[in-house]
Structure 1
Amino acid sequence: MQNQSPPAARVVVDGLAFGESPRWHDGRLWVCNWGTGEIIAVDAHGNSEVMLRVPAVLPYSIDWLPDGRLLVVSGREGLLLRQEADGSLVTHAALRGLSKRPWNEIVVDGRGNIYVNGGGPAPAAGQHFGPGTIVLVTRDGKVRQVADAIAFANGMAVTPDNKTLIIAESHANRLTAFDIASDGSLSNRRIWADLDGYPDGICLDAEGAVWYADVPNKHCVRVREGGDVLQTVTADRGCFACMLGGAGRKTLFITAAEWRGFEHMTSDARTGQVLGIEAPAPGVGWPG
């Protein structure tokens, strides 16, 4: 049974384009501000700072290697970039040989294995996205595909024990789980939760639940394995992604913006926000 909805989330930051790929890192929330090429960091008081400008408009996403170096997926260019100590960006891995389609999200697990999703074959006529894939970039730099036929690959998360990867399949209305082998391979594909919605960005909490953002339904939902809804946070605009951070990682941060369709994602409208609300359980696993 669904619990009573909590109070409305507060606005932490306003005036963004499209906030995506939020990550809690080094005491601040980092956000990819799609449409601008900016990666920003936001502190607990809502003060934001542009940390990096990347040669990409959208999509692009971020995470960190275990040694602290920033990784950036430049989606349309098919490149995984790495920021060096001097601030420069170099190519960490080239993904174009696996697919000419844009790449989307990234998660780095606790062992340093990098998972990137998106790509895949060309979409059918009239569709924006074809079936997506997941590729693995190992610690020694080798790249290989580890899953395919993902129905619009979106947010990913890895459990604290590094044994399970969960991915949002937006067009299949579900969260899907894989077992992670010692070499980073994925197996035992299964439905983690069927959903009444369209999951986008996701994150994990210490009670084994997943939060997922949902653009058309303008909310962020906490579910347990099997699909039982535990909590819903509503907004007045589409919710693109979420991340648990803040003190004790008990604040749910949501990136939200008015959705006007794919053709208007690079407009001058600045309806993007970061929302924040206290969560019932702290964040765990990766990203974050």
Structure 2
Amino acid sequence: MTSAPASVWSLAAPLLEGPVWVARDAALWFVDIKGHRVHRYDPATGDRRSWAAPGQLGFVLPAASGGFVAGLQTGLARFDPADGSFTPLVDPEPERPGNRMNDATVDPAGRLWFGTMDDSEAADTGAIYRLAADGRCIAASPFVSITNGPAVSPDGRTLYHIDTLGGVIHACDLAADGSLANRREFARIPNEQGYPDGPTTDAEGCLWVGLYKGSAVRRYAPGGQLLETVRFPVDAITKIAFGGPDLKTVYATTANKHLSPAEKAANPHAGDLFAFRVAVPGVAGTLIREGA
């Protein structure tokens, strides 16, 4: 019952990332990291809006207090779409100016989890962090070059994070206090099949993973078995998000920064926003709860 992915917003962007369905305005929000843009897509009206960011940003996620928390290269910031402003909150890695923010999620308790990475995609300087109630950013993973995720299971008991260049998806037990234990290999993807990018879970607890240079997204069972592969007409899928009234419309961000000018001309939809339909819905997103 999975439909073929189709482009719904022609952007031909260098690096789209971080799609998130925001129920309070029934719209999809996502970013263009290299293009320094925040995008909003309303599928009901077709309305498309964009905001300029002050630098590279990996995500914008909605906060319970209103507005969004954004992951800029210079640290976490509050983003207000009303005036387009970005107000700094905290820099998790002031000693690593060559790093930037990449992917992020909010767990069922309202805690923000996010990852950093080496912007040159070479040094093992990126890690997964949790934003603590007191405003500290607590490192929660080994250091790798490119982190992706995290994603959290619907019951809030398992956290997944990805070593993209290593091709490894990790799973951890997530405790009620936000601590992690029992880190283990969930799945491994050989580089020749694509690089695991952003992860997302659905209502059955299955993990969906975009493949950069793999022309697909994969769906894994909670036990790590590969259940389904959705093929794309472009090769770099960075992440998906479930949206729409029934959470059965899947939106996928893609990229073209790795393509030559000739390859971009031959692949005009690379870097677009895509959508397709699925049988199993996603999980309603949680707002970031300050002090969680």
TM over 0.5: yes
Which structure 2 residues correspond to residues 144-223 of structure 1 after superposition, within 5 A?
A: 144-150=138-144, 152-196=146-190, 197-223=194-220
Note if contact 1:157-1:287 (Cα within 8 Å) is conserved in structure 2. Answer: no
Deviation at 1:143, TM superposition (A): 2.2
The sequence identity of aligned pairs, in percent, is 25
Residue 69 of structure 1: which of 67, 70, 74 is its match?
67
Deviation at 1:166, TM superposition (A): 0.9
1:53 maps onto 2:47 in alignment: no
Q: What residue is the counterpart of 1:43 in the other structure?
A: 42
Which runs of 4 or more aligned residues in structure 1 lie more than 4 Å from their structure 2 counterparts after TM superposition?
Answer: 285-288
**Aligned partners of 2:124 and 2:203: how far apart in 1?**
34
Could you tell me which runs of 5 or more consecutive residues in structure 1 were left unpaired when the two chains were aligned. 263-268
**Aligned partners of 1:249 and 1:208: how far apart in 2?**
14
- Secondary structure of 1:249's partner? coil
Could you tell me which runs of 5 or more consecutive residues in structure 2 were left unpaired when the two chains were aligned. 261-267, 288-292
Cα 1:256–1:148 shift into 2, 3 Å: same
Q: What residue is the counterpart of 2:265 in the other structure?
A: none
Deviation at 1:31, TM superposition (A): 1.3
Cα 1:239–1:134 shift into 2, 3 Å: same
Deviation at 1:32, TM superposition (A): 0.3
User: C-alpha deviations, 1:204-248, integer Å up to 9, x for none?
Assistant: 111111111111111111111343222211112121111111121
1:12 maps onto 2:8 in alignment: yes
Q: What residue is the counterpart of 2:264 in the other structure?
A: none
Which structure 2 residues correspond to residues 266-277 of structure 1 after superposition, within 5 A?
A: 271-277=270-276
Cα 1:65–1:44 shift into 2, 3 Å: same
Give the root-mean-square deviation of aligned CA atoms.
Answer: 2.8
Q: Identify the structure with the greater strand proportion.
A: 1
**Aligned partners of 1:7 and 1:136: how far apart in 2?**
35
Note if contact 2:103-2:148 (Cα within 8 Å) is conserved in structure 1. Answer: yes
- Secondary structure of 2:143's partner? strand
**Aligned partners of 1:259 and 1:226: how far apart in 2?**
34
- Secondary structure of 1:80's partner? strand
Which structure 2 residues correspond to residues 46-125 of structure 1 after superposition, within 5 A?
A: 47-56=46-55, 58-75=56-73, 77=74, 79-84=75-80, 87=83, 88-97=85-94, 99-100=96-97, 101-119=99-117
The one-letter amino acid of 1:221's match is R
TM-score of the pair, normalised by structure 2: 0.82
Which has the higher mean CA deviation after the structures are superposed, 241-250 or 148-157? Answer: 148-157
Q: What residue is the counterpart of 1:265 in the other structure?
A: none
**Aligned partners of 1:135 and 1:156: how far apart in 2?**
9
**Aligned partners of 2:108 and 2:281: how far apart in 1?**
18
